[in-house]
């Protein structure tokens, strides 16, 4: 009997998966306010989607429609710019996940640490938060190994569960009195801008990541463009609305750190609803992480299938799980999970931006070659180049301020990028034959 094929991901399901791949809700925005204050934060929350998210979403929509292939952006760059740059894209994107994936359990641990005293009266230490993050990573790996997947139905249900408390929070905050007097803006030091800008860019990043499982999407030429733009509007609305409501209650940026939405929720909605908010924060981080595995594991698998990495990383077991890739990736994520959220997010955005530059270059190259899949960004020539340049210019500003704020993790990110050409020389197929000759 022929094995029944899993139903393709439809529009609603893809919107929900994009929501968790990019956002997962307003949790994680608190360091933005803590670094730059309310006014600057709201300006960035409105400007970054236009300069950063919209160009990436449009690029991802066009190329996902034209080439709905396993590996997504790795295949775009490979076909548009050649084998060398395709490898750099795949390699850099995989290294990017080393600092990106730990962000979700680390964020979850920091939220738990902040909100735990509200419900128990006891504090958690930093060591507890790190232990929680590592257990989180391996529990998710065990679930994935069992064959359980983040489905589109679960993603829709989880998105409703995560956003529903924020609807109540925004409504209640509008009727409540401010909990603190208006305060002066914090100083705009490079360290503050680095954390703040990296935080907002990270919270608006990941639109291209949903391309790596394009073969599982029904009618990708039509579904991807509509889902990407709908998700962008949904995410922007809840970011701006939630931060604005929170600032009405407490404009003192010094109070804002990961988990502060739960604290504010307890003050205006009561401890019962705050407990729900804390629970949905855990649901959000869990769903984000497990949804991200959908795009992360195909990256080393695609490199392995092309001969760059051991083929065991691409091998599927009887449950359809890439066990080798799952174990290797989870071990790497556990190492980086000992770092703080603010340090990981700086390296994360730097690595992500490098791969993004290659994707925009591939878009321009594939346009010249005539590749098309039913949807095209309604721009060409200099206008298309300007669209591609906007997020890269913002990434350049972020690199400049990040290098001044966190030299260690900036250097780690740059060293990971520099490893790409060396890895190409060592790992490319046919190297052994060339050496023996």
Q: Which two tokens stand for residue 177?
A: 């009195």
Average pLDDT, the chain: 83
pLDDT value of residue 240: 95
For each of the domains in the chain, give its residue range(s) and CATH number, in order of start.
Answer: 11-427 (1.20.1740.10)
Question: Model confidence over 17-40: pLDDT tens digits?
Answer: 888 888 888 988 888 888 888 888
401 vs 12, 47, 195, 397, CA distance in Å? 38, 18, 9, 6
Name beta bridge partners: 213.
70
Say how far apart CA 421 and CA 416 lie, in whole Å: 10
| Total residues belonging to the chain | 437
Q: Is the pLDDT of residue 424 over 80?
A: yes
User: What is the percentage of the chain residues whose pLDDT exceeds 70?
Assistant: 88
Say how far apart CA 422 and CA 32 lie, in whole Å: 36
pLDDT value of residue 419: 94
**Three-state DSSP class for residue 101:** coil
- Which one-letter DSSP state was computed for residue 72? T
The overall longest dimension of the chain from CA atoms, in Å, is: 78
- Residues near 329 by beta carbon (within 8 Å), at least 6 away in sequence: 97, 101, 296, 297, 300
Question: Model confidence over 70-100: pLDDT tens digits?
Answer: 667 888 899 999 999 999 998 998 999 999 9
Residue 213 has φ and ψ, to the nearest 5°, of -115, 30
Q: Are residues 232 and 68 in contact, defined by beta-carbon separation less than 8 angstroms?
A: no
Mean pLDDT throughout 342-347? 81
Name beta bridge partners: 70.
213
Question: Model confidence over 366-414: pLDDT tens digits?
Answer: 888 876 666 788 888 899 999 999 999 988 888 877 766 667 777 888 8
Say how far apart CA 263 and CA 268 lie, in whole Å: 9
Q: Is the pTM of this model over 0.95?
A: no
122 — pLDDT class (breaks 50, 70, 90): confident
Say how far apart CA 312 and CA 82 lie, in whole Å: 25
Minimum mean pLDDT range among 157-166, 174-183, 300-309, 345-354 = 174-183
pLDDT value of residue 431: 53
Q: Among residues 201, 251, 210, which one has the least CA distance to residue 394?
A: 201
Say how far apart CA 13 and CA 237 lie, in whole Å: 19
102 — pLDDT class (breaks 50, 70, 90): very high
- Residues near 231 by beta carbon (within 8 Å), at least 6 away in sequence: 15, 18, 19, 22, 23, 57
5 — pLDDT class (breaks 50, 70, 90): very low
Q: Among residues 387, 391, 381, which one has the least CA distance to residue 356?
A: 391
Which ranges in 250-380 belong to alpha helices (H)? 260-269, 271-296, 298-305, 323-336, 341-369
Say how far apart CA 217 and CA 220 lie, in whole Å: 6
Question: Model confidence over 242-276: pLDDT tens digits?
Answer: 999 999 888 887 788 888 888 888 888 888 888 88
325 — pLDDT class (breaks 50, 70, 90): very high
In this structure, what is the dihedral angle of CA atoms 13, 14, 15, 19, given to the nearest 10 degrees? 100
349 or 114, greater pLDDT: 349
161 — pLDDT class (breaks 50, 70, 90): confident
Residue 349 has φ and ψ, to the nearest 5°, of -65, -35
């Amino acid at each position: 009997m022929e094995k029944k094929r899993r139903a393709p991901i439809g529009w609603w399901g893809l919107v929900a998966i994009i929501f968790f791949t990019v956002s997962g809700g307003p949790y994680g925005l608190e360091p933005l306010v803590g670094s730059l204050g309310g006014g600057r934060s709201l300006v960035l929350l409105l400007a970054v989607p236009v300069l950063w998210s919209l160009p990436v979403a449009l690029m991802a929509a066009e190329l996902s429609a034209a080439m709905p292939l396993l590996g997504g952006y790795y295949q775009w760059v490979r076909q548009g710019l050649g084998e060398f740059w395709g490898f750099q894209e795949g390699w850099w994107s995989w290294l990017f996940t080393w600092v990106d994936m730990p962000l979700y359990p680390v964020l979850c641990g920091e939220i738990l640490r902040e909100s735990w005293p509200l419900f128990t009266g006891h504090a958690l230490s930093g060591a507890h938060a790190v232990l929680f993050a590592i257990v989180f990573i391996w529990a998710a790996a065990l679930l994935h190994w069992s064959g359980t997947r983040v489905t589109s139905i679960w993603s829709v249900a989880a998105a409703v569960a995560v956003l529903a408390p924020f609807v109540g929070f925004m409504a209640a905050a509008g009727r409540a009195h401010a909990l603190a007097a208006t305060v002066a803006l914090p100083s705009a030091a490079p360290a503050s801008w680095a954390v703040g800008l990296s935080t907002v860019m990270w919270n608006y990043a990941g639109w291209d990541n949903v391309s790596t499982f394009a073969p599982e999407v029904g009618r990708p030429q039509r579904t991807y463009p509509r889902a990407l733009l709908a998700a962008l509007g949904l995410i922007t609305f809840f970011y701006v609305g939630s931060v604005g409501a929170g600032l009405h209650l407490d404009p003192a940026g010094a109070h804002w750190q990961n988990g502060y939405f739960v604290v504010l929720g307890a003050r205006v909605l009561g401890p019962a609803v705050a407990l729900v908010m804390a629970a949905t924060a855990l649901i959000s981080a869990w769903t984000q992480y497990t949804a991200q595995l959908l795009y992360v594991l195909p990256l080393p698998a695609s490199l392995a299938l092309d001969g760059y990495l051991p083929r065991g990383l691409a091998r599927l077991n009887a449950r359809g799980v890439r066990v080798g890739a799952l174990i290797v990736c989870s071990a790497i994520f556990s190492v980086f999970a000992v770092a703080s959220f603010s340090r990981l997010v700086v390296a994360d955005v730097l690595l992500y931006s490098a791969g993004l530059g290659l994707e925009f270059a591939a878009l321009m190259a594939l346009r010249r070659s005539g590749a098309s899949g039913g949807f095209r960004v309604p721009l060409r020539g200099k206008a298309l180049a300007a669209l591609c340049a906007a997020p890269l210019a913002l990434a350049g500003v972020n690199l400049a301020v990040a290098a001044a704020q966190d030299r260690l993790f900036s250097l780690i990110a740059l060293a990971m990028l520099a490893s790409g050409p060396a890895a190409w020389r060592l790992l490319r197929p046919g190297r052994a034959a060339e050496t023996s000759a």
